[in-house]
Homo-oligomer: A and B are copies of this chain.
Amino acid sequence: MNDHPERAPRYFEDYVPGLTVDCGTFSVGEEEIIAFAREYDPQPFHVDPVEAKDGPYGGLIASGWQTTALMMRHLVEHFVSPESSLGAAGIDEIRWPRPVRPGDTLHVRATVLEARRSNSKPDRGIIRSLAEVTNQDGDLVMKLTAINFVLLRDPSA
């Protein structure tokens, strides 16, 4: 037992398909959206509120990569364990079905889809997880499937 069950170490054995973890909430403001986009994604609808108004989204929206990066922070804090995480092999199917606008409050949730032990390395397994980000209206603004390498608690089992 642990006072902070969300911070108890998770190993491969704990990532059971169907497990869903609430990874918390964050919001993004206009300044933060512009600062991120100036550095990484300087398209008019991410960096210039005036141009954005006449652009395809009728206003400023966050770079999808900013939503992804902030989601990652929440996965690291609530879903991934430093004790077992060996990093990601990759990501499948990122989708941004709706834009993120200044002031939106976003919620992150992770669900284990699949877990299998590595054939070549008996100390680890491969976890496929769905990460979903929804806004204050409950609309999905982003999802992706992550493929992570995770250590076993007990490789001899």
Contacts and interface: CB of A to CB of B under 8 A. Distances in A.
Tell me if A's interface is mostly helix, strand, loop or mixed: mixed
Contact of A65 (B61, B72, B77): B72
A80 to B, nearest CB: 7
A95 B89 contact: yes
A86 interface: yes
Given A56-B86, A87-B56, A87-B57, A40 B94 contact: no
Given A43-B82, A65-B69, A76-B41, A95 B90 contact: yes
Interface residues of A, number: 35
Contacts of A57: 87
A87 B96 CA distance: 10
Interface of A: 39-45, 56-57, 61, 63-65, 68-70, 72-73, 76-77, 80, 82, 85-96, 99
